[in-house]
Amino acid sequence: MSEILKTTPLDALHRELGARMVPFAGYSMPVQYPAGILAEHAQCRTAAALFDVSHMGQAMLTGRGGAAALERLVPGDIAGLKPMRQRYTLLTTPAGGIIDDLMVANLGDESYFLVVNASRKEIDLPHIRAHLTEGLRLAEQPTHALLALQGPQAATVLGRLAPDAASLPFMGVAPVTVDNVELLVSRSGYTGEDGFEISVSKDFADAFARILLAQPEVAPAGLGARDSLRLEAGLCLYGQDIDETTNPVEAGLTWTIGKRRRMEGNFPGADAVLAMLGNGPTRMRVGILPDGRAPARAGTEIFAADGTLVGKITSGGFGPTLNAPVAMGYVRRDLAGDGTALTLMVRDKPLPARVAPMPFVPHHYIR
């Protein structure tokens, strides 16, 4: 029996634009448009690309004590998050694993806007609700789409339509108005480029996407380019690079754990996370550059110089900006130094590779 896929408010537009649609996290999503993944990737690096990310989970947490409630679930400093600012954080398990990574924005007036991964929203939102105290309410926002406008020309484009948006700082959040419709805009994204994520009512989503695509700097981009961009930027994909078996320390995400939170040690899994911070992980997520042109995909085994199996690739593919294959994966800590020689088993053949610093392509966030 075939899976019945959900659609986003832009489904008709994707098909009109000739997108190739694929199943993803229970949704029918565009993986690429006729221009192709390489062109869409380059569009984001050089101008502006528009991604439909409406499959993500959007929710609003309201009521007194929202920051404290979230801090009972994440290691991030939510109490110190200023109004109209956003932070990347993690939902952690009692054992120190990662339930999901998510964005939390403080909208002021005891309101927090959350964006969680599409594949995890049916787990995340009930988990958060189960830990809320009286007077707090978490409401999913199925009435809203989510668009990502990414690239060096994104601010020029959005500023043309909503001048206040162009002045947002990195991780800043603000309501803006386009055609008398209010949007919630954050200066953030998943590509390593400057850009914006825009929450918009589903009734206006199609019209707004068409307004953006009518701008000369903008072209549509699908999941394929989104994946190659985030991989070059060294950004984790939940379910591949991190999951409930992954400690944030070995994943290289210690920067998400606030100094005060480390001292207090009162978040789920704190004992395991702080122990690994103190003792060091046995394995570490690293960037890997294979020799030659053959990409090493997720699941590829990694071997040390002496032939010992030391890990697996978690994300891998071709990096269009580098014009070379790139990957990331977990290896023993003693093999995590930049330049360390490794061997990857690709299609039953050994392929030389080396550990390399991430991001593979520098981030271009506005600071």
The string of pLDDT tens digits covering residues 19-62 is 999 999 999 999 999 999 999 999 999 999 999 999 999 999 99
State the pLDDT at residue 3. Answer: 76
Q: Which amino acid is present at 104?
A: V
Model confidence at 361: pLDDT above 80 = yes
Same domain, 352 and 241: no
Residue at which a domain ends, from 258, 279, 300: 279
Structural element, H or E, at residue 116? strand 111-116
State the pLDDT at residue 215. Answer: 98
Average pLDDT over residues 337-363: 97
Give 367's pLDDT tier (boundaries 50, 70, 90): confident
Classify the phi-psi angles of 186: left when phi > 0, otherwise alpha if psi is within -120 to 50, otherwise beta: beta
213 DSSP 8-state letter: H
Residues 66 and 259: beta-carbon distance below 8 Å: no
Provide the 3-class DSSP secondary structure of residue 169: coil
Same domain, 199 and 325: no
CATH code, domain carrying 103: 3.30.1360.120
Cβ-Cβ contacts under 8 Å for 20 (sequence gap 6 or more): 30, 31, 32, 33, 222
Average pLDDT, the chain: 97
Average pLDDT over residues 163-168: 94
Same domain, 101 and 238: yes
Residue 114 lies in a domain: yes
Same domain, 63 and 199: yes
Average pLDDT over residues 218-244: 98
Residues 352 and 312: beta-carbon distance below 8 Å: no
Same domain, 225 and 161: yes
- Of 196, 200, 149, nearest to 178 by C-alpha is 200
Average pLDDT over residues 222-226: 98
Residue 366 lies in a domain: no
Residues 102 and 115: beta-carbon distance below 8 Å: yes
- Of 101, 57, 104, nearest to 78 by C-alpha is 104
Give 2's pLDDT tier (boundaries 50, 70, 90): low
Same domain, 273 and 288: no
Residue 86 lies in a domain: yes
Residue at which a domain ends, from 230, 246, 279: 279
Same domain, 108 and 183: yes
Same domain, 217 and 339: no
133 DSSP 8-state letter: P
Residues 74 and 90: beta-carbon distance below 8 Å: yes
- Split into its structural domains, the chain has a count of 2
Residue 128 lies in a domain: yes
Same domain, 241 and 289: no
255 DSSP 8-state letter: G
- Which residue carries 């990737």 as its tokens? 41
CA atoms within 13 A on the CB side of 195: 24
CATH code, domain carrying 311: 2.40.30.110
Residues 261, 299: Cα–Cα separation, whole Å: 34
Same domain, 293 and 161: no
Residue at which a domain ends, from 279, 298, 321: 279
- Of 246, 238, 294, 240, nearest to 269 by C-alpha is 246
55 DSSP 8-state letter: T
Residue 133 lies in a domain: yes
Parallel, antiparallel, or unpaired: how do β-strands 218-220 and 48-52 relate? parallel
Structure tokens at 134: 């009286």
Rounded alpha-carbon distances, angstroms, from residue 140 to 59, 129, 175: 4, 11, 18
Residues 304 and 283: beta-carbon distance below 8 Å: no
Residue 364 lies in a domain: no
Domain ranges, residue 76: 1-279
Residue 365 lies in a domain: no
User: Tens digits of per-residue pLDDT, 89-140?
Assistant: 999 999 999 999 999 999 999 999 999 999 999 999 999 999 999 999 999 9
Average pLDDT over residues 268-284: 98
Same domain, 316 and 241: no
Residues 270, 273: Cα–Cα separation, whole Å: 5
State the pLDDT at residue 1. Answer: 44
Same domain, 20 and 127: yes
Residue 205 lies in a domain: yes
